[in-house]
Structure 1
Amino acid sequence: MTLTELKYIVTLAQEQHFGRAAERCFVSQPTLSVAVKKLEEELGVALFERTKNAVRTTSLGEGIVQQAQRVLEESERIREMATAGKDQLRAPLRLGAIYTIGPYLFPHLIPQIRQKAPDMPLYIEENYTSVLRRKLRNGELDAIIVALPFNEPDVLTLPLYDEPFVLMLPSNHPLAKKDAMDAADLSCSDMLLLGEGHCFRDQVLQACPSLKDSETQHTITEGSSLETLRHMVASGFGITILPLSAAGEGLYAPGMLCTREFASPQPMRTVALAWRASFPRPKAIDILRDAVKQCNVQALPA
């Protein structure tokens, strides 16, 4: 049984005439007649009643012809899907980002993607690096935005930008008198950090090894998000280290908060795009890369 044979019986049922049906199918009448007879023999039932003047479907043939019509319609849908799939910027793109990047990048990135690929549906997700890694590997996400290092078999990474860290503190804090901080010597009893599981926490502790000292470790308070840490600083609860894109002071009363850069070597993170090497839509990856460049990330207001 082939799609061609199904097309023949559907057309014959509509035309009720071998000659007209053959013309519509662009074959000779004997070719169509032989194919219909072959299908009837394969199924072991008569699909049509044949007379000198007309061809009519049998009662059983009517149901089979209807089913054949549905099969042909579904096969056409497959062709349409395949045709649409040839345009790499029409299929949905599933993009993930870690919690410390997504809230600050997505509001600027999404309009850029819409402008460059208006017909590409976009689904976004924020999560931990470990969860994004699993979803990328399992095909639940097409690409993810993470901080390096990120190593995964059969996954490609493309560095997008370097983002410096800054110290955020109340304007009346003693450290606010300094113009620049030395990350290696920073040791504060009122330091606020993200909780376990956030890669940004690990990056801060690596950049500021003095925070790991036993004398201060028990005084470090943990928060669930960068927004929580920033609000805690605004309430006078302590100080924190943030990526530059998250260090917005404009949400609070003027003069309440201030940020201080770190002295050279300035701690920073490299933000990268990661995708499976087998992902069949390189144009979508190119769009993502170009859209991020257009965002001018380090100048983003939070």
Structure 2
Amino acid sequence: MNLPTVKQLRYFVALESYEHFGRAAEACFVSQSAFSTAIRELESTLEVQLVDRTNKNVTITHIGRQIAVEARRCLRDIEGLVELARSNQQPLTGELRVGVIPTIAPFLLPEVMPGLREAYPRLKLYLTEDITQRVYDKLMDGELDLIILALPYALRNVEVEPLFQDRFFLACRENSTHIPREDGQFKSGDLAPESILLLEDGHCLRDHTLAACHLQQDMDKISRFSASSLLTLVQMVDADLGVSYLPEIVIGSPLLQGTQVKLWPTGEKSFRDIGLAWRRGSARAEEFHQLGETIRQLQAQYGPYPLTPAETEENTQTGTDGATENGHPAADAT
């Protein structure tokens, strides 16, 4: 019995994704003629038509869509076999494709990447930044090996390694007109919901902020003026268009430099969890646990609070009062 080759399966998965022979061939780094020949050979081997061809369009047939799903699964299994063999030699070597969400990548990666290179000099990291749903989809499609994301998030068929808790701070411009003041301490309940600015839908930080800061009951009143990025959000707060909540991971980063934005502890257990996730059953699970431990140790050198479970819990209970300005303790903090 003739069986499809790995190359043919890879080519067909690319064609199903791009729905264009030229772009799919380019993504696979082969000529279009060689690519088309491989697809026809796959159809001949399977004795089924995978693609409807016209002069202008490429349409994947119904059975072609089903076969593409199984082809992706086959490719993941083959990659898992290779990973199993590699993990038996030396852990955390070779290529590792990692997806990171935008509200984590620019703050965590500069802190941990130098240490990871030193700890694992034979590890080649290929990083992708995208919103949570897309990096999760790429993980499950086999395009990524591992993702770094904020939790909770609806995930299926994955294993998760918690890294640390990332507390939320109230962000406002110094002397903001949107903040009721009383002895320099602010509470979420004192804020007018219409003054609260958040990221737009699609960013999990928006959902985590609503949940962790207990804002769901005021969703219909919260400002309709939403931001597409943390940079835009900070600029809006700096212009005193409203107030917002920012994760602690931004403290000390360039995000707040050059602004008059202050951060105030919420006085509540308001946080998101940061963690690693990978496909359940991955042959590299032990490596990923080891990588998570290394990231925790590296982040603990930079983070403003301890990252072990016990220390994190203690810090959450006894967090200090007072504001931070431009990512550092404010001069007038009490």
- Given the two structures, how large is their TM-score scaled by the length of structure 1? 0.64
Instruction: Look up the match of 1:203.
Output: 208
Do structure 1's residue 91 and structure 2's residue 94 form an aligned pair?
Answer: yes
Distance in 2 separating the partners of 1:231 and 1:131: 26
Q: Is the 8 A contact 2:168 2:245 kept in 1?
A: yes
Q: CA deviation at 1:177?
A: 3.5
Do structure 1's residue 240 and structure 2's residue 244 form an aligned pair?
Answer: yes
Distance in 1 separating the partners of 2:86 and 2:150: 36
RMSD over aligned Cα atoms? 2.9
Instruction: Look up the match of 2:181.
Output: 177
Structure with the greater relative contact order (CA < 8 A, sep ≥ 6): 1 or 2?
Answer: 1
Distance change in 2, residues 1:267/1:84 (3 Å): closer
Instruction: Look up the match of 1:216.
Output: 221
Distance change in 2, residues 1:89/1:222 (3 Å): same
Q: Is the 8 A contact 1:147 1:272 kept in 2?
A: yes
Aligned with 1:225 (options 224, 229, 234) = 229
Structure 2, unaligned stretches of length 5 or more? 1-81, 306-326, 329-334
Structure 1, unaligned stretches of length 5 or more? 1-78
Q: Which amino acid aligns with 1:168?
A: A
Aligned with 1:194 (options 184, 196, 199) = 199
Q: CA deviation at 1:229?
A: 0.6
Aligned pairs (5 A) from 1:93-172: 93-172=96-175
1:61-81: per-residue Cα shift (whole Å, max 9, x none)? xxxxxxxxxxxxxxxxxx9xx
Distance in 1 separating the partners of 2:224 and 2:251: 20
Q: Is the 8 A contact 1:186 1:210 kept in 2?
A: no
Q: Which amino acid aligns with 1:204?
A: T
Q: Is the 8 A contact 2:163 2:295 kept in 1?
A: no
Distance in 1 separating the partners of 2:246 and 2:108: 14
Distance change in 2, residues 1:154/1:215 (3 Å): closer
Matched pairs, number? 219
Aligned pairs (5 A) from 1:52-67: none
**Aligned-residue identity in percent:** 30
- Given the two structures, how large is their TM-score scaled by the length of structure 2? 0.58
1:208-233: per-residue Cα shift (whole Å, max 9, x none)? 4446537623x332001111111222
Larger radius of gyration: 1
SS in 1 for 2:246: strand
Aligned with 1:251 (options 254, 257, 272) = 257
